[in-house]
């Protein structure tokens, strides 16, 4: 016997909906920003720069970028020229995600508040009903005396 799971599918979260709405460029910018903001990137880049400088310092025949490493500086400038706007795009999207999460949290809080208020009213009505019943019983007891 096969179970139908279609009715058991949970609604998508705001994060899943937001992630699905991103186009290729936005996903690429997020990936690049995530990669450039990692220790792995820093370590790999440091190793490449150290190798670049060592190989240029000990090269006996051909120095492709002699000291003061102008080509290396050009590569860093180019990297920075592209990295800054990509990181800013990723930060803008992070702001959008934060706003979406804040909106979702606000809606959840409003729903919870309404439920709590409804429960409070129900509890109060139960209490009033109980008190009314107790008063009726007390009146009956007094009338019997």
How many CB atoms within 10 Å of residue 41? 13
Sort 26 into a burial class: Cβ within 10 Å, 0-12 / 13-18 / 19+.
middle
Residue 98 CB neighbour total at 10 angstroms:
10
Q: Is residue 67 over pLDDT 90?
A: no
pTM: 0.59
**Distance between CA atoms of 84 and 121, rounded to whole angstroms?**
55
Going from N- to C-terminal start, the domains of the chain cover: 24-109
**pLDDT single digits (tens) 11-46:** 777 778 778 888 898 888 888 888 988 999 999 999
Q: Which helix (H) or strand (E) holds 11?
A: none
């Amino acid at each position: 016997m096969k179970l139908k799971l279609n009715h058991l599918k949970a609604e998508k979260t705001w994060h899943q909906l937001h992630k699905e709405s991103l186009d290729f460029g936005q996903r690429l910018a997020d990936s690049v920003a995530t990669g450039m903001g990692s220790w792995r990137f820093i370590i790999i880049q440091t190793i490449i720069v150290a190798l670049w400088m060592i190989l240029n310092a000990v090269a006996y025949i051909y120095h492709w970028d002699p000291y003061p490493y102008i080509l290396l500086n050009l590569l860093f400038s180019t990297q920075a020229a592209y990295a800054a706007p990509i990181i800013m795009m990723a930060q803008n999207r992070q702001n959008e995600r934060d706003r979406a999460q804040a909106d979702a949290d606000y809606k959840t809080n409003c729903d919870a508040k309404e439920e709590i208020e409804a429960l409070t009213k129900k509890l109060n009505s139960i209490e009033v009903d109980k008190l009314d019943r107790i008063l009726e019983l007390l009146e009956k007891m007094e009338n019997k005396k």
